[in-house]
Amino acid sequence: MNKERMYQLIRMPHVSEKTARLQADSNQYVFEVARDADKGEIRQAIEGLFDVQVENVSVVNVKGKSKSFRMRAGRQRSWKKAYVRLAQGQTIEQLQAD
């Protein structure tokens, strides 16, 4: 897999209190990924971009919410989220919380 495809698959890290707790407790990182990505491609992309060994990948499809703004109905976009568990002793230095 080439670098361009890896960057297309892994859009950005998803940062929240829950993901910070997952990093500290169970060595899991959460990423927003492309809607057409599968677990094997996500594993290859993470291993290629961050030079780590991936133990497990779980994928969740997040449905967009219906919202209204000034009496106009709208909808947020749907997206895909990947929970990536790294092997024991491995970390992604760029995503470490201080």
pLDDT in tens, 60-91: 999 999 999 999 999 999 999 999 999 999 99
Instruction: Say what the pLDDT of residue 95 is.
Output: 73
How many domains does the chain fold into?
A: 1
CA 27 to chain centre: 13
Instruction: Extract the tokens encoding 59.
Output: 């994928």
Q: What is the pTM of this model?
A: 0.89
Give residue 51's region: left, alpha or beta (phi > 0; psi -120 to 50).
left
Q: Exposure string (b/e) for 15-27, b if CB count within 10 Å is 16 or more?
A: eeeebeebbeeeb
40 class by beta-carbon count within 10 Å (0-12 exposed, 13-18 middle, 19+ buried): exposed
Q: Is residue 94 part of a domain?
A: no
74 in any annotated domain: yes
Domain residues for 36? 3-89
